[in-house]
Amino acid sequence: MLRAGIVGLPNVGKSTLFNAITKQNILAANYPFATIDPNVGVVNVPDIRMNVLNDMYMPERLIMASYEFTDIAGLVKGASNGEGLGNKFLSHIREVDAIVEVVRCFNDSNIIHVEGSCDPIRDVEIINLELAISDLEIVNNRLQKVEKKAMTTKDSDSLIEVEALKKAKEALEKSIPLREVKFSEEEKIKIKSFQFLTEKPIIYLANISESELASPDNDYVKKLKDYVGTTSKVIKVCCKVESELAELSIEDKEEMLSMLGIATSGLDDLINATYELLGLKTYFTVGSDEVRAWTFKDGMNARDCAGLIHTDFKEGFIKAEVISYDDLVSAGSETKVKELGKLRIEGKDYLMQDGDICHFRFNR
């Protein structure tokens, strides 16, 4: 299961956000390091198509697409040198696939700010610098071990690794995150095992006050968006409101959103954005026993997608019977889809598309 890590300075709303995402009652306290060990929760991906398929098939089980969100202890200046929770924090980030960086974008004298004032750009730079310093330390240590050997032996694999590490070192020394560096495919393979923090895709979550939810971006959010530019995405959320919405029924949630003057939950936006950020799509298996959403990486073929269900499906793959979601909804039933000639038979190299409804045939 793919994972996203929620990070940020202490007291910016991380644990409140996590409570809302997972509906779990973890400690959310108004002081630094209230969260010490990472808290992990499985999150369903909002998908209206699942409601439609559920009504169509009336299955015994409905299983949504999901992935993990991890709430990680607050980072402070100097974490890469052991300040605060230091390297323990950083090691937890290395284990996730994407980062959600919560940034405080509201004033409240009752909530302590570890830096003494609200300044989203400063806060982002503190965290990003600590991540870059941590990555740079790994790069320098590894270069010391492999550079001399590579120059002596002229081993092609070692030379590729050294070239990638030098490229990384140059970027990090200029405070350029590795996600913005163009590595060759061979270089990417060589540095993948290091799990560099600044190489991970990132979303910035601007935590605002309830009174500003239906208003245009405040100055803090504007500054954050200008700073981030087109390199990442900024999503505006009130973590406090989201934690309240999480406790409501669907009907009450819709009523509260209407009262707040907003169309959708910020959490739904965040979950879908993170799903998109990781390059994930969804295919479905359907029947009276179960309707299920399966998560796959964009670009995966039918055989590999079959393997997500069971390795036997991949190893004995024969073919995939595929119906597009839109065709099924338009026709109203699988029987009608077949009558219209819109059921497709696809081979192992077929590139799965988002919304495909599949039945795999395989040798047992």
| Distance, first Cα to last Cα, the chain | 26
Distance CA 133, CA 140 (A): 10
Mean predicted confidence (pLDDT) in 311-331: 96
What share of the chain in percent tops pLDDT 70? Answer: 90
| Percentages of the chain per state (helix, strand, coil), in multiples of 5 | 45, 20, 35
Residue ranges of E strands in the chain: 3-7, 39-44, 61-63, 66-71, 98-104, 202-207, 233-237, 280-285, 290-297, 317-324, 344-346, 356-362
Q: What pLDDT is recorded for position 76?
A: 59
Q: What pLDDT is recorded for position 2?
A: 75
Which residue is associated with the tokens 């990003």? 128
pLDDT grade for 241, boundaries at 50, 70 and 90: very high
CA dihedral sign, ordered 120, 126, 130, 132: positive
Q: What pLDDT is recorded for position 74?
A: 63
Q: What pLDDT is recorded for position 157?
A: 86
Q: Who wins on pLDDT, 30 or 275?
A: 275
Q: What pLDDT is recorded for position 290?
A: 96
Q: What pLDDT is recorded for position 314?
A: 95
| β-pair partners for 357 | 284, 323
Within 8 A by CB and 6+ apart from 70, the residues are 3, 4, 5, 6, 38, 39, 40, 92, 95, 96
Within 8 A by CB and 6+ apart from 211, the residues are none
DSSP, collapsed to helix, strand or coil, labels residue 195 as coil
CB contact at 8 A, 354 and 283: yes
Mean predicted confidence (pLDDT) in 238-254: 88
Q: What pLDDT is recorded for position 165?
A: 96
* CA-based nearest residue to 128, from 231, 35, 39, 217: 231
Distance CA 138, CA 125 (A): 20
Residue 24 pLDDT greater than 80, yes or no: no
Q: What pLDDT is recorded for position 243?
A: 87
Q: What pLDDT is recorded for position 27?
A: 47
Residue 82 pLDDT greater than 70, yes or no: no
What share of the chain in percent tops pLDDT 90? Answer: 55
Radius of gyration of the chain (CA): 23
* Two structure tokens written together for 297: 């990486």
Residue 63 pLDDT greater than 80, yes or no: yes
Within 8 A by CB and 6+ apart from 170, the residues are none
Report CA 157 to chain centroid distance, whole Å.
31
The answer to which of 143-152, 165-174, 278-287, 313-322 has the lowest mean pLDDT is: 143-152
Distance CA 264, CA 91 (A): 34
Q: What pLDDT is recorded for position 88?
A: 56
pLDDT grade for 36, boundaries at 50, 70 and 90: very low
Distance CA 91, CA 73 (A): 11
* Two structure tokens written together for 71: 């709430």
Residue 340 pLDDT greater than 60, yes or no: yes
Mean predicted confidence (pLDDT) in 178-201: 94
Q: What pLDDT is recorded for position 326?
A: 97
φ, ψ of residue 327 in degrees (nearest 5)? -65, -40
Strand order in the sheet with 61-63: 61-63, 290-297, 280-285, 356-362, 317-324, 344-346
Q: What pLDDT is recorded for position 58?
A: 96
The angle subtended at Cα 139 by Cα 35 and Cα 165, nearest 5°, is: 135
pLDDT grade for 110, boundaries at 50, 70 and 90: confident
pLDDT grade for 190, boundaries at 50, 70 and 90: very high
Q: What pLDDT is recorded for position 26?
A: 45
pLDDT grade for 25, boundaries at 50, 70 and 90: very low
Q: What is the pLDDT of residues 269-320, one digit of tens each?
A: 888 888 888 889 999 999 999 999 999 999 999 999 999 999 999 999 999 9
Residue 149: which region, alpha, beta or left (left: phi > 0; alpha: psi -120 to 50)? alpha
Within 8 A by CB and 6+ apart from 295, the residues are 2, 45, 65, 66, 67, 280, 281, 282, 308
Amino acid at 221: V
Residue 208 pLDDT greater than 70, yes or no: yes
Which residue is associated with the tokens 């499906």? 313
- Using CA atoms, how far residue 118 sits from 31, 109, 206, 240, in Å, is 16, 10, 12, 17
Alpha helix (H) ranges present in 4-155?
Answer: 14-22, 48-57, 86-94, 120-153
> Average model confidence (pLDDT) for the chain?
87
* CA-based nearest residue to 142, from 169, 182, 174: 169
Q: What pLDDT is recorded for position 81?
A: 57
Mean predicted confidence (pLDDT) in 195-201: 93
Q: What pLDDT is recorded for position 35?
A: 44
Q: What pLDDT is recorded for position 172?
A: 95
Mean predicted confidence (pLDDT) in 138-166: 90
pLDDT grade for 264, boundaries at 50, 70 and 90: confident
